[in-house]
Chain A
Amino acid sequence: MITRQFPIALSIFFAVYIIQEAVVNQFRFFGGGFSLFLIFSLIWAILSSPKIAALGGFMAGLLMDLSPSSAGLIGQWTLLMIVACYAVSYLGSGNESLSSNPLGFTFLTTVTIFFVELFYVITGALLGVASGDSEQVLITLVGIFIWSLVVTPIVLPLFSRLHAFTFNTRSAI
């Protein structure tokens, strides 16, 4: 990932980030919607080794922190994404039942998104970032979970092919 893969990976991350900010954010979805960039980052992490997943999580988190619509402190998403990407890579990449079939992949990605968002609220509360009343937070968490469950299987083939293209691996989900 140092010479050839890193610039390609960075370009892909940035392209998905632009799509998130310029296209997905144009819509106000019921129940909170979904984050295409978050889904992409976690899919990328599951397909990568833990070291590359952590680095990808760092890039993704930093871009999410730099998003003008991000309410938290710079570094909050970075921290969460490093840990989340490392964790899903560690758990998922050696487990064939999770990472080699689309259902397991979708399940792992969606559950991780739920917990990442939950930990974002918790760490935000600890750092003094307001997230709204508990009822609204719960609605948004459940909404993001359901939307992610719907969107992940749709974008999974594309994102796995992008990963395979970057790392010259043959298999793609």
Chain B
Amino acid sequence: MRKAGAGSARLPLIILIVTALFLITLDLRGVGVLQGARAASQTVLSPFQRAGNVVLTPIKEFFSDVTHLGRTRSQIERLRADNAKLQTELLNRKNADAQLDQLKTILDLAGTAGFKVVNARVISQGSSQSFAQTITIDSGSNAGIKRNMMVLSEFGIAGVVKDVYSNSALISLATDPSFRIGIRVAGSQQIGILSGRGNRSASLQLIDNLTTLQVGDVLLSLGSVANRPFVPGVPVGYITAVDNSAGAVAQSATVHLYTDFNALGVVAVVVGSPVRNPGDALVPTKPQPTPTPTVTVYVTPSPTPTN
């Protein structure tokens, strides 16, 4: 079972392991050269990621359609009817229009709050091999993007800028396990800390127990000192479950994040903070139920029976 040469491999093996431990030690001590190497790696990879994004976008859309087939059968039925009418017009513009819609909503959101934003396209989804939730966008320091800037999607917070390169930037998504953001509950103004859990469901820990959380409560970003990394008032998510364990020091809850992280095509990086706090102005409007028309028929009995 043992291969010839295994014994002679011990010295090189030890040298390589010591080198790896040396690298870990340097990185733990925050030596800038290593982070520079990672930045150089992104600079090299960025053109390939852009090319890959352009070539693979139609394939990604195809698989996205296939995976959503079971979940939204009724929606597909409705869309199929619409699609028959619009197919010819939209064939060559489908991707562009989808991104335009996302962009418009993001700009509406940013405009309402008075944020100055830089828009960017997502050119790569991060690998899950390192259990991190990241994306790469096609704008970087040349567009004025810096580290620790907030990133918005059409629905609210998407993440925060983790690393910046000349023409691209790495975004740590709000679903990343290391992601933490201070939030306040719209209305009650309670504050707490939201933590990513690796999926669209995040966990919330309140600072105090003055009032009670309710399912459906909307959470907004609290904002940071000098608005970096987080600007105030951006929609984060809504509460889906409240943990009212007896004896708990502070209330905790499960939160559904507004942003659909599987469908991020266009995002906006907040490069300029608002003049004033937008308060609750960005709280998403609750969907209004469609009124069902009621028809009342009055029947007056005829004086003579009919045959």
Interface residues of A (CB under 8 A from B): 18, 20-30, 32-33, 35, 38, 49-51, 54-55, 57-58, 61, 64-79, 82-83, 86, 89-91, 93-95, 117, 120-121, 124, 127, 129-133, 136-137, 140, 143-144
Give CA–CA (A123, B21) in the complex, Å. Answer: 12
**Known contacts A68-B163, A79-B17; A26/B60 CB under 8 A:** yes
Using CB atoms, name the residue of chain A closest to B8: A51
Chain A residues near B240: list those with CB within 8 A. Answer: none
CB-CB under 8 A from A71, the residues of chain B are: 130-132, 134, 176, 178
Contact present for A68 and B37 (CB under 8 Å): no
Size band of the interface chain B makes with A: 35 or more
Q: Which residues of B contact A32 (CB under 8 A)?
A: 128-129
A86 in contact with B13 (CB, 8 Å): yes
Contacts of B21 in A (CB 8 A): 75, 79
Give the distance to chain B from A91, nearest Cβ to Cβ, in Å: 7
Interface pair A72/B3, CB less than 8 Å apart? no
A53 CA to B160 CA, complexed, in Å: 38
Q: A29-B128, A86-B13, A127-B28 are in contact. List 16 more A-B contacts (CB 8 A).
A: A22-B45, A22-B49, A22-B51, A26-B53, A27-B63, A30-B67, A35-B129, A54-B13, A54-B16, A61-B20, A64-B129, A69-B134, A75-B20, A75-B27, A94-B2, A127-B24
- Bound: A33/B133 CA distance, A: 13
Give which listed residue, B23, B126, B262, contacts A25 with CB less than 8 A.
B126
Whether the pair B177, A69 counts as a contact (CB closer than 8 A) is no
CB-CB under 8 A from A93, the residues of chain B are 3
Q: Give the shortest distance, in Å, between B160 (CB) and chain A (any CB).
A: 14
User: What's the minimum C-beta distance from A90 to chain B, rounded to whole angstroms?
Assistant: 6
A-B contact pairs, 24 of them (CB 8 A): A21-B48, A21-B124, A22-B51, A22-B124, A25-B127, A26-B125, A27-B56, A28-B125, A28-B262, A33-B128, A50-B5, A55-B12, A66-B38, A67-B130, A68-B170, A69-B124, A73-B28, A75-B22, A75-B24, A82-B16, A82-B20, A83-B17, A86-B9, A90-B3
**Looking at the complex, which one of B1, B12, B132 makes contact with A95 (CB distance below 8 Å)?**
B1
Report the Cα distance A124→B26, complex, angstroms: 16
Contact A49 B60 (CB under 8 A): no
Find out whether the CB atom of A51 lies under 8 angstroms from the CB atom of B56: no
A90 and B20: CB pair below 8 A?
A: no
